[in-house]
Amino acid sequence: QQPVQSPQAVILREGEDAVINCSSSKALYSVHWYRQKHGEAPIFLMILLKGGEQKGHDKISASFNEKKQQSSLYLTASQLSYSGTYFCGTESGNTPLVFGKGTRLSVIA
Amino acid sequence: DAGVIQSPRHEVTEMGQEVTLRCKPISGHNSLFWYRQTMMRGLELLIYFNNNVPIDDSGMPEDRFSAKMPNASFSTLKIQPSEPRDSAVYFCASGGLAGRGDTQYFGPGTRLTVL
């Protein structure tokens, strides 16, 4: 089952914060976050395994609520370079990643 | 490490022609995945291999599509005959075994245009 991402699109000014959500109807083993810039391949950001952990590097972090089958990606003090489409991918059991439709993030000066 | 390598990067062909896309995964990775990305359907998994063995090809849209992985360092996705609706960006990714929480790394993609 494809995870549902929200919002579909968001526009930020430099320095503002954003949250992107990813939810699934199935019990999750892991959640993966990727960013894709126009005309390029998706780039891996981070992975969260069941256990409800939170991860982050630089000003991008994520949480995973196993019970709610949800994950959120947090972008703080956004920079122009954060612009792109963010995808979450989820794994359930031994199934491969299923990606959401993506959230288009635009950061403007 | 060179990362996942795909060729060609761009392919323009006419309807009815055979198209072959190639992928070299990252050395040491156990799994290889073929995806198709379009504006309408997003990122779709077509097929994946674990240790060179096709595991799930339920995402392959039609019999016109076929994929092989003859060894750990090479895979092909073939479309025969091609149709305009096959126009998309095709990504190959490699990683650890599917479903185990391992990271997938994407290649640069092949942009296919079928006229």
Q: What is the pLDDT of residues A47-70, one digit of tens each?
A: 998 776 666 677 899 999 888 899
Alpha-carbon Rg for chain A, nearest whole angstrom, is 13
Hey, of B26, B33, B104, which one would you mutate to test binding to chain A, going by the most A CBs within 10 A of its CB?
B104
Query: In what side-by-side order are the strands of the sheet with A4-6?
Result: A4-6, A18-23, A70-75, A60-65, A54-57
Question: How high is the pLDDT of residue B8?
Answer: 97
| A101 vs B contacts (CB less than 8 Å) | 42
Q: Which of A40, A47, A87 sits opposite B43 (nearest CB)?
A: A87
The percent helix, strand, coil of chain B (3-state, each to 5) is 5, 55, 45
Res. B36: pLDDT tops 80? yes
Q: How does pLDDT run across A56-109, given as a tens digit for each residue?
A: 677 899 999 888 899 999 999 999 999 999 999 999 877 889 999 999 999 999
- Identify the burial level of B52 via C-beta atoms within 10 angstroms of its C-beta, where 0-12 means exposed, 13-18 middle and 19 or more buried: middle
Token representation of residue B36: 């198709």
